[in-house]
């Protein structure tokens, strides 16, 4: 090889490689404009069993509706005011369970950091062998500085829970950026597997059915919703009476 060939070889630049490098540089620049996802968002599922007869009745009854938002309250020692757990309450204020240990640590940290804490019932399971219930809830925690897009993303998740799907909640950096750029319209299309059931366990509730929408609406306190719920149940009662009368006579 001559000196000229050697110089030309060293000065040659691959156009394809230049384009790849340019795309990668633009992507890195774009990624750097957003906070690391772990510093502003956490999404995960928790499982819990009610720790009282009151909590058990809540899950079995109208307060155990899929998509119901549970309130998370810090539990503190009265003497030294140290936080030791998270109490989950149904929409009516009924206490369901006090989470302790690893189940509550991330929620405690989010509350103390001033994040938005969103916990929604996603599944209720009944055990025939122990005559008891346990439940699963979707936890979506995020920094309020990203409230607009992530609040919309949360509504999307709740909508899918109501329809009986089991959406993924964990996000990587690229997925998080897509949510922010779409103002919460983007979501993971792939669902995560349901929890594994033990022998004798059955899924008691997995989706919100139409009558539960009415129950929830009536419980919201809105006059129009209450009237609609009362009107619906009157129709049901009249239909039952008509069927019974027709059968007897």
- Domain range holding 227? 209-249
In a domain, 9, yes or no: no
140 alpha-carbon distance from chain centroid: 5
The pLDDT score that the predictor gives to residue 24 is 45
pLDDT higher for 74 or 241?
74
Match 């757990």 to its residue by tokens. Answer: 85
Structure tokens at 223: 């006059």
Structure confidence at residue 249 as a pLDDT band (50, 70, 90)? low
pLDDT in tens, 30-89: 556 789 999 999 999 999 999 999 999 999 988 889 999 999 999 986 666 677 899 999
CATH number at residue 57: 3.30.70.2330
Is residue 142 located within the same domain as residue 249? no
In the predicted structure, residue 11 carries a pLDDT above the cut 90: no
Is residue 204 located within the same domain as residue 226? no
CA distance 59 to 71: 14
The pLDDT score that the predictor gives to residue 29 is 47
In the predicted structure, residue 210 carries a pLDDT above the cut 80: no
CA distance 62 to 64: 5
Is residue 107 located within the same domain as residue 214? no
Is residue 195 located within the same domain as residue 226? no
Q: Which residues contact 60 (CB under 8 A, 6 or more apart)?
A: 124, 126, 133, 204
pLDDT in tens, 108-167: 999 999 999 999 999 999 999 999 999 999 999 999 998 999 999 999 999 999 999 999
Is residue 219 located within the same domain as residue 170? no
pLDDT-above-70 percentage for the chain? 70
Q: Which residues contact 248 (CB under 8 A, 6 or more apart)?
A: none
Helix, strand, or coil here: 228? helix
Domain count, the chain: 2
In a domain, 241, yes or no: yes
> CA-CA-CA-CA torsion for 71, 77, 79, 82, nearest 10 degrees?
-100
Is residue 53 located within the same domain as residue 95? yes
Is residue 140 located within the same domain as residue 119? yes
Is residue 182 located within the same domain as residue 247? no
In a domain, 25, yes or no: no
């Amino acid at each position: 090889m001559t000196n000229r060939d050697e110089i030309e070889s060293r000065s040659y630049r691959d156009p394809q490689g230049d384009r790849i490098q340019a795309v990668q540089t633009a992507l890195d620049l774009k990624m750097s404009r957003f906070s690391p996802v772990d510093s502003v968002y956490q999404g995960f599922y928790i499982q819990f069993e009610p720790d009282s007869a009151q909590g058990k009745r809540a899950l079995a009854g109208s307060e155990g509706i899929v998509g119901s938002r549970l309130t998370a309250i810090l539990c503190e020692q009265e003497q030294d005011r140290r936080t030791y757990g998270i109490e989950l309450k149904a929409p009516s204020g009924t206490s369901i369970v006090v989470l302790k240990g690893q189940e509550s640590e991330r929620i405690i940290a989010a509350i103390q950091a001033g994040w938005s804490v969103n916990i929604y019932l996603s599944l209720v399971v009944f055990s025939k062998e122990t005559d008891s219930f346990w439940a699963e809830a979707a936890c979506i925690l995020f920094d309020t500085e990203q409230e607009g897009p992530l609040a919309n993303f949360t509504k999307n998740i709740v909508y899918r829970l109501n329809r009986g799907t089991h959406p993924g909640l964990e996000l990587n950096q690229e997925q998080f950026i897509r949510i922010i750029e779409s103002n919460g319209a983007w979501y993971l299309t792939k669902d995560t597997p349901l929890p594994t059931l033990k022998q004798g366990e059955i899924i008691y509730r997995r989706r919100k059915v139409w009558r539960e929408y009415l129950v929830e609406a009536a419980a919201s306190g809105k006059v129009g919703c209450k009237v609609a719920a009362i009107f619906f149940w009157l129709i049901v009662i009249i239909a039952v009476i008509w069927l019974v009368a027709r059968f007897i006579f």
